[in-house]
Structures are given as C-alpha cells and as structure tokens.
A = this chain, B = another copy of it.
Amino acid sequence: MIPRSHPRYESLMTRELIVEGVKKGITSIQGLIAQGRGEAFDYLIGEKSLQNALHSEKVAAAKLLLARKPVISVNGNAAALVPEELIRLSELINAPLEVNLFHRTEERVDKIIRHLRTLGARNIFTQSDALIPGLLHDRAKVDSDGIFSADVVLVPLEDGDRCKALVDMGKTVIAIDLNPLSRTAQCVTVTIVDNITRAVPHISKFAEELKGLKKEELLEMVRDYDNKNTISIAIDEIKNNLESFSTYHDS
C-alpha cells in the first residue's frame, strides 16, 4: 500500500493502474515502457497541468463540440488509466469510443471493449472494416463508421505515424502527449502536453462550461489557436524546470 502522504502518490498510483492493466490483459507490455517515458516528461513539466495545457484542453473541448462526427480513440494505456473519465467525456460531447491499438490483437481489442462496457460505455464502434491509407495492414484497421469517417478524433497517447496518417486524411486530430518533441505532438492539430489522468477530466470540465455557447462563439475561441506556440511554451517550461534544478544543485 502506498500511503496518501507519499510525495509522489499520484504518479505511483498511476503506475499501479498500468501494471493492473497488463495483468488484466488490456495493456501491452510495451505500454509499461510508454508509461515510463511519460513519467519522465511529466516529471520534467513538474507533474502539473501548465496554463498552456489548460488552454489546449479548452480548445480541444471547443473543437469536439463543433465536430460533426467526433470519435474518441482508446488504446491499452488509456483503457487502464482513465476508462471512466473517457466514458464520461464520450457521453458529454456525444462522441463514441473506438478501441485502436498499436500492438493490436483481436483478443485485446475484445477485452478492452468488454472492460469499457462493464464500466458503463454504451456507444462503442467495434468494426474493423476500413483501413487508414498509408499504414501497414494491422496498424491501419479502423471502423468505417468510426475513426475512418470522423472529422475530429481525440487520440490519447498515439503513435506518430498513425497520427500523421489521420492528419493526412484531412481530420482534425487532438492528441494528449507529454513529450512536446514527439512526432505526434508536432504533427497534430491540437497537442495537449499533459498527463492523460489530468487532461481528460479537464476536457470534460471545459466541455460542460462551453456547451451552452453558440457555434460562432466556439469558432471565435479556436480561431487563434497556434499549436506551434503550444509546443514551444511546453519546451520552454521544461527548460525552466531544468534551470531551477540546476541552480538548486549549484547552490
């Protein structure tokens, strides 16, 4: 048992959720390595949601509300870490979920679908009858009514190649990625440099706040969004944190 008073309680509990996910067969063993990479970048941004990330989360909520056909992609790490939060967001913005795995096996897809249904998910795309152009077969499978035909896709924790392929299809892609240097962060429409455990509840909160606004007001809100700027600010924040560590150390 990790005591609540432990200075790194949140981070350690998140780690336990991923280990749990591997034991349940919904998270791949490679997902643990991805979790470790994420931990390192979260540590470098100070394990908190930066002002900049909150702005991206608000813009993401507006874009999802403006979407004609939004879909939320769910991978093995997301299913282990924030299944209930994703279901809640899905209902709030009326965006179905679709399981979409990098290390795909039909068994794991089925397990995640069952896991999400057990937790109350009602709207899940479950076919794999279409292929994203430009990707190898198994990496390309999606639902023709889901991600394939969506105009806006929220991809928490997605591979760079696959994000780029979705962008190349003309979709608005919103990614949650703690590494501002990653190809995913660099190629998508909106990059949220934040931990998925903080980001998804934030998007839901903003979606609730913005739900009453007119379309024109939402469009106004997203008009000036500059993703390059988002990434630069996140990189600067990491540099500042390194600076303060370094100064602390020299003293």
Contact = CB atoms under 8 A, between A and B. Distances in A.
Oligomer copy total: 2
A32 interface: yes
A37 B8 CA distance: 15
Nearest to A186: B249
Contacts of A149: none
Interface string A187-210: 000000000000000000000000
A: interface residue count bin: 20 to 34
A15 B30 contact: yes
Secondary structure at chain A's binding surface: helix, strand, loop or mixed?
A: helix
Contact of A243 (B30, B239, B245, B246): B239
Centre residue among A34, A37, A186 by max chain B CB count within 10 A: A37
A231 B32 CA distance: 28
Contacts of A239: 239, 242-243
6 contacts: A22-B29, A36-B36, A37-B39, A228-B250, A235-B246, A239-B239
A181 interface: yes
